[in-house]
Chain A
């Protein structure tokens, strides 16, 4: 069972570069989320989506963009990377098919230098 798959797992970016974190789920979940977790801290919601074509901002959306063209995929775009974006990024999904439990990917470790 794949669940939620994130790529890449590790990435080093230079200041000002851009990149996309990929996320895919195979559980037919309507809801998908992107969180970031800074060292020693909890989870902060960046963006979320309630279905294909519908996205909304979370607590910390600045510097990021998302799109949801299909139910399965929810990529996160980092524009003009800054050292403050050094973090672990988690994609997650939930839906009625899994009792509304949120399931997480393994995380993407991003360092901006």
Chain B
């Protein structure tokens, strides 16, 4: 069965600095999707970035980028020029392209941004 692991329960970063959140996953599939979601105190789940496994190029969205290492089954999120509004829980998620179409979420990393 697929699993997603976020080994950092909590991280802190100074405003304007860069931080990297880690995510590893376990799968025997060759094609799948990976996602990072942000959950601010309002609890709304907001898509941050998305990666398709067949694409070697790392996805980027403005200040957010990923380091996708398929062989190592690693999918880390880098936040550049951190802002106070980046403070939130961040969840890594996996979805296979076949089978039951369920999404598997990690346990989350709480990011604190220090002024």
**Chain A residues engaging chain B, CB cutoff 8 angstroms:** 31, 33, 37, 41-43, 45, 48, 50, 56, 58, 88, 90, 92, 94, 99-104, 106-107, 109
Question: Which of the 9-residue segments B12-20, B21-29, B73-81, B97-105 touches chain A?
Answer: B97-105
A104-B45 contact, Cβ under 8 Å, with A43-B91, A99-B50:
yes
Residue-by-residue, is B20-58 near A (CB-CB < 8 Å gives 1, otherwise 0)? 000000000000010100000011110100100000000
A101-B102 contact, Cβ under 8 Å, with A90-B45, A106-B44:
no
- Contact sample, A vs B, 28 pairs, CB 8 Å cutoff: A31-B101, A33-B102, A41-B107, A42-B91, A42-B105, A42-B106, A42-B107, A42-B108, A43-B105, A48-B100, A48-B102, A50-B100, A50-B101, A88-B43, A90-B45, A92-B45, A94-B95, A94-B101, A99-B50, A100-B33, A100-B95, A101-B33, A101-B47, A102-B93, A104-B44, A107-B43, A107-B44, A109-B43
Point out the residue from A37, A94, A100 that lies within 8 Å of B43, measured CB to CB: A37
Distance, CA A106 to CA B44, complexed state (A): 5
Interface residues of chain B: helix, strand, loop or mixed (majority): loop
User: Which A residues lie within 8 Å of B33 (CB)?
Assistant: 100-101
User: Which A residues lie within 8 Å of B107 (CB)?
Assistant: 41-42
User: Which B residues lie within 8 Å of A109 (CB)?
Assistant: 43
Distance, CA A63 to CA B45, complexed state (A): 24
**Chain B residues engaging chain A, CB cutoff 8 angstroms:** 33, 35, 42-45, 47, 50, 91, 93, 95, 97, 100-103, 105-108
CB distance from B96 to the nearest CB of A (A): 10
B35 touches A101 (CB 8 A): yes
Distance, CA A42 to CA B107, complexed state (A): 5
User: Which A residues lie within 8 Å of B103 (CB)?
Assistant: 33, 92, 94, 102
User: Which B residues lie within 8 Å of A56 (CB)?
Assistant: 100
CB distance from B10 to the nearest CB of A (A): 11
Distance, CA A67 to CA B33, complexed state (A): 27
User: Which A residues lie within 8 Å of B91 (CB)?
Assistant: 42-43
